[in-house]
Amino acid sequence: MKIENWNPSEITRRQFIRTGAAGLAAAGMNPLVFGQTSKVPLKLPMRRYGRTGLNISSIIGASNMTPELIPLAVKAGVNYWHKADKWTPETMPAAIKSQPRESYYMEIIVPRVRGNHRTGVIEEEEHYQYVKDSLKKSGLRYFDVFKHYFGYHSIEEVKTNAGMIRAFERLKKEGLVKHLVLSQHHYNDIGGDMAYDILEYLIDNTPYEGVQLFFSYGAPKEMEEVVAYAKKKDFGTIAMKTMKGIGRAIEDDNLKAILEDPRFKGSRPGEATVKWLMSNPNLDAAVIAMKSFAEMEENFGAAMQASLGAHDRRVLDQLAAYNDGRTCMLCSECVSKCSEDIAIADIFRYERYAMDYHELDRARKEYSLLTKNGTSCISCGDCMSACGSHINIMEKLKDVHSLLG
């Protein structure tokens, strides 16, 4: 579907009414039958999250998950909640808080201060206070996991600024947090380092215990390698931005027609992608966006089967062909080529929020915060040869600006 013809709110509503938990309830069906009527026993495999030692569900949950799905997720074994600091005592789902506190893990994301993830700074005292204030607002006694949000700009910054680590250590002494992890992005666009290089240094030289990182089918070999290295060093890994291109692919009539062929029978793009993630022995868990009962059942069912069949591989090959020239893999290779310092990978990440997760409002909000957007492109073409996904970056920047600007 072309960007200009796409109406995310309409699709989301239509899909959700068709198969969502609320849709099921409206049709007089009890969404909580999930896991009882399914052919597979819907209980997610558990994995050890690296050095944290936590036994977490192979698909983790998030506080922005569709609320109707949270009881189903808990029932299926989801026990790790990303961005849990966004809940208050009033909004924290009963399905979670009715469980024994030690049976689930609550994660707080701790961002830079005095700016965004590029312009902000790491400042021990402010992070320390931020977590204390967040605890008060959440009504929790402690967060299981302190996540340094977006990570470091460079190896040099890791070496010279221990503010985030010191804030964690003070909070840990007071029993307010237990484990230290981070998410890590690429920062070559601001003269920093690539995520995989920063991670390799962190794994060997710091008290961080795990990472959340971009990892989807077709990931650059450096990301594959750092995930393997993390496993070797008992450093936890959770994949994020995993559903590359799938939201748009499953709505594309041409692709749907291709996948009708008997060669692909028994697999679908989302299912094949989840099996690909789960069959990676080096990866501990994944964040997988899902908005409906049907998506959740498909993803959880695939996570339980885990092994990739020949039909799944064929679907993944088709998906890769579909994404080629269309969907950004967020590798950031193009960014350092741009003399205009346009955050190309971020812009295309926001496009993925809109096109694959159907979160247009969030995408527009993030896009509006950029200091330079797609309109800053001078069409010099210098970035184009860097793109292994064969994306016409100049044209795509214009399309994305029409969608999000």
Residues at the contact surface with ligand SF4, assessed by CB under 6 A = 328-334, 337-338, 340, 342, 344-345, 348, 377-383, 386-387, 389, 391, 393-394
In 3D space, the residue among 164, 352, 108 whose CA is nearest the CA of residue 241 turns out to be: 352
Q: Which is nearer to ligand SF4, 270 or 374 (CB)?
A: 374
How far is 193 from 124, CA to CA, in rounded Å?
Answer: 22
Q: Which is nearer to ligand SF4, 286 or 338 (CB)?
A: 338
Q: Which is nearer to ligand SF4, 177 or 243 (CB)?
A: 243
Q: How far is the CB of 346 from ligand SF4 (least distance, A)?
A: 9
Alpha carbon of residue 140 to chain centroid: 24
Q: How far is the CB of 140 from ligand SF4 (least distance, A)?
A: 37
Q: How far is the CB of 281 from ligand SF4 (least distance, A)?
A: 26
Q: How far is the CB of 378 from ligand SF4 (least distance, A)?
A: 5
How far is 199 from 155, CA to CA, in rounded Å?
Answer: 9
Which residues are CB-contacts of 252 (< 8 A; sequence separation ≥ 6)? Answer: 1, 322
- SS3 of 105, please? strand
**DSSP strand E in 22-89: where?**
46-48, 55-57, 59-62, 80-82
Q: How far is the CB of 91 from ligand SF4 (least distance, A)?
A: 35
* CB 306, CB 276: distance < 8 Å: no
Q: Which is nearer to ligand SF4, 68 or 366 (CB)?
A: 366
Q: Which is nearer to ligand SF4, 306 or 394 (CB)?
A: 394
* CB 164, CB 122: distance < 8 Å: yes
Q: Which is nearer to ligand SF4, 116 or 379 (CB)?
A: 379
Q: How far is the CB of 52 from ligand SF4 (least distance, A)?
A: 30
Q: Which is nearer to ligand SF4, 202 or 383 (CB)?
A: 383
Q: Which is nearer to ligand SF4, 124 or 324 (CB)?
A: 324
* CB 71, CB 35: distance < 8 Å: no
Residues found in the chain: 405
How far is 170 from 162, CA to CA, in rounded Å?
Answer: 12
Element holding 178 (H helix, E strand): strand 177-183
Q: Which is nearer to ligand SF4, 174 or 340 (CB)?
A: 340
- HSE, CB side, 13 Å, CA atoms: give it for residue 263: 10
Q: In a 10 Å sphere around its CB, with 0-12 CB exposed, 13-18 middle and 19+ buried, how is residue 202 labelled? A: buried
How far is 211 from 24, CA to CA, in rounded Å?
Answer: 36
Q: How far is the CB of 75 from ligand SF4 (least distance, A)?
A: 37
Residue with tokens 């970035």: 383
Q: Which is nearer to ligand SF4, 67 or 405 (CB)?
A: 405
Which string of DSSP letters, residue by residue, matches 248-297? HHTT-HHHHHHHTSGGGTT--HHHHHHHHHHT-TT--EEE----SHHHHH
Q: Which is nearer to ligand SF4, 207 or 381 (CB)?
A: 381
* Paired strand residues for 109: 147
Q: CA distances (Å), 163 to each of 113, 123, 170, 171, in order?
A: 12, 5, 11, 12
Q: How far is the CB of 386 from ligand SF4 (least distance, A)?
A: 5
How far is 241 from 348, CA to CA, in rounded Å?
Answer: 12
Q: Where are the alpha helices (DSSP H) in 20-146?
A: 21-26, 70-75, 94-97, 124-138
Q: How far is the CB of 363 from ligand SF4 (least distance, A)?
A: 16
Q: How far is the CB of 325 from ligand SF4 (least distance, A)?
A: 10
Q: How far is the CB of 189 from ligand SF4 (least distance, A)?
A: 10
